[in-house]
Structure 1
Amino acid sequence: MHSLRKSHQTSPSKMLTLLLLSFLWVGASDGTAQTRASSSYSGEFGSDAGSHFDQSDQELEGPITGLRIRANDRYIVSIQVRYGDSWSSTEGGMVGSPANVRLFLGEGIVQVLGRFGSHVEYLALRTNQGRVFAFGPNFGPGTFFTAEPSFPNTVLRSVSGRSGSSIDAIGFHWDTEQ
Structure 2
Amino acid sequence: MLFVTVFAVLAALAMADAQPQYYSFSPPVGSAVGSPYSVTGDGRITAIRVWEAYNRNIKGFQFRYGFVWSPVAGYQSGRPQELELFDGETIVQISGKYAYFLQTVAFVTNRGRSLFVGQPHGYSFNMYPTNNQAELRFINGRSHGSITSIGAHWALVDPVFNNTTGH
Partner of 2:127: 147
Where in structure 2 are there 5+ consecutive unaligned residues? 159-167
Q: Displacement, 1:164? A: 2.8
Q: Within the alignment, does 1:168 sit opposite 2:152 as a pair?
A: no
Query: Paired residue for 2:86?
Result: 104
Cα distance in structure 1, aligned partners of 2:129 and 2:88: 17
TM-score, L = length of structure 1? 0.75
RMSD: 2.2
2:60 to 67, 78, 82: 78
Give the Å deviation of 1:136.
0.7
Runs of at least 5 residues in structure 1 that lack an aligned partner in the other structure: 1-9, 11-17
Partner of 1:46: 30
- Summarize the Cα distance change of 1:33–1:162 in structure 2 as closer, same or farther, 3 Å threshold: farther
Which structure's residues are more often helix, by fraction? 1
TM normalised by structure 2 equals 0.79
- Equivalent position amino acid for 2:80 in 1: P
Over 3 Å counting, the alpha-carbon distance change for 1:49 and 1:65 in structure 2 is same
- Structure with higher Rg: it is 1
- Return the letter of the residue paired with 1:158: F
Matched position secondary structure for 1:38: coil
SS in 1 for 2:21: helix
Identity of aligned residues (%): 35
Q: Contact between 2:106 and 2:117, CA under 8 Å: does it hold in 1? A: yes
Equivalent residue number for residue 161 of structure 2 = none
Distance (whole Å) between structure 1 residues aligned to residue 157 and residue 18 of structure 2: 17
Q: 1:80-112: per-residue Cα shift (whole Å, max 9, x none)?
A: 111122111111122221112110110001111
Alignment-derived partner of residue 136 in structure 2: 156
Equivalence for 1:125: 107
Q: Moved runs in structure 1, 4+ residues, more than 2 A?
A: none
